[in-house]
Chain A
Amino acid sequence: EAGVTQSPTHLIKTRGQQATLRCSPISGHTSVYWYQQALGLGLQFLLWYDEGEERNRGNFPPRFSGRQFPNYSSELNVNALELEDSALYLCASILVYTGELFFGEGSRLTVL
């Protein structure tokens, strides 16, 4: 069974550009969580999508947005990139029965 997959693995952008990151949850999982992990720091909660709707968001500006598609895959968009947006972006889906999160390997975004 395929795990959570994320793409691209690495992405390099310049300030002011937009970045789009993608996530496919484990088959049958309908919730997707996004986290930001800056170098040397813990995981910061970004967004939670469930059944196609944004259900909750962390303390991030509106230029961080996303969506969830009918097949439950998800996309994270970061507009007007700033240097401090450089981080590992992790996506996770949840097994509802146990509450266990399954993480992808992440997308590393570098903003120059």
Chain B
Amino acid sequence: DAKTTQPTSMDCAEGRAANLPCNHSTISGNEYVYWYRQIHSQGPQYIIHGLKNNETNEMASLIITEDRKSSTLILPHATLRDTAVYYCIGAGGTSYGKLTFGQGTILTVHP
């Protein structure tokens, strides 16, 4: 399963775009990149996932580099409610059997 590395914390001003990076240099060819977020000890919530193409949904955009060694989650207009811990994980094939979360990035959105 892919080991991921994320910055410990980031800040963002309300209304601005939040760009959260993730390194996953050991990701294998059949592993997707998934992003989740966890708001203050609630259960984590799925945000988005992708394999190699950029993806967008109503919550966020996901940009994956061509070599797939890193990705960026973009919250286009951050709000105070986006303050949370954001996790990226790699999963696919047999690695679905041990879905491992790292420490994540604490994103704080300021007024």
Q: Which residues of A contact B (CB under 8 A)?
A: 4, 33, 35, 37, 41-43, 45, 48, 55-56, 58, 88, 90, 92, 94, 98-106
Give the chain A neighbours of B97 by CB distance below 8 A: 48, 55-56
- Of the candidates B41, B46, B87, the one whose C-beta lies within 8 Å of that of A42 is B87
Q: Given A35-B101, A42-B87, A42-B101, A99 and B43 touching (CB < 8 A)? A: no
Count: A-B pairs, CB below 8 Å? 55
Q: Is B103 within 8 A of A42, CB to CB?
A: yes
Give the chain B neighbours of A56 by CB distance below 8 A: 97-98
The smallest beta-carbon distance between A93 and chain B, in angstroms, is 11
Q: Type the 1/0 row for B45-63, where 1 means its CB is closer than 8 Å to any CB of A.
A: 1100100000000000000
Give the chain A neighbours of B100 by CB distance below 8 A: 45
A1 to B36, CA, bound (A): 21
Looking at B43, B45, B102, the one whose CB has the most chain A CB atoms below 10 A away is: B43
Kindly report which residue of chain A lies nearest to residue B91, judged by CB atoms. A99
Give the chain A neighbours of B101 by CB distance below 8 A: 35, 42-43, 45
Q: Is A90 within 8 A of B43, CB to CB?
A: yes
Q: Given A42-B103, A98-B49, A103 and B43 touching (CB < 8 A)? A: yes
In the complex, B21 has a CB within 8 A of chain A: no
Q: Which 10 A-B pairs have the closest CB atoms?
A: A103-B43, A43-B101, A56-B97, A42-B103, A100-B46, A103-B44, A105-B43, A56-B98, A45-B100, A104-B43
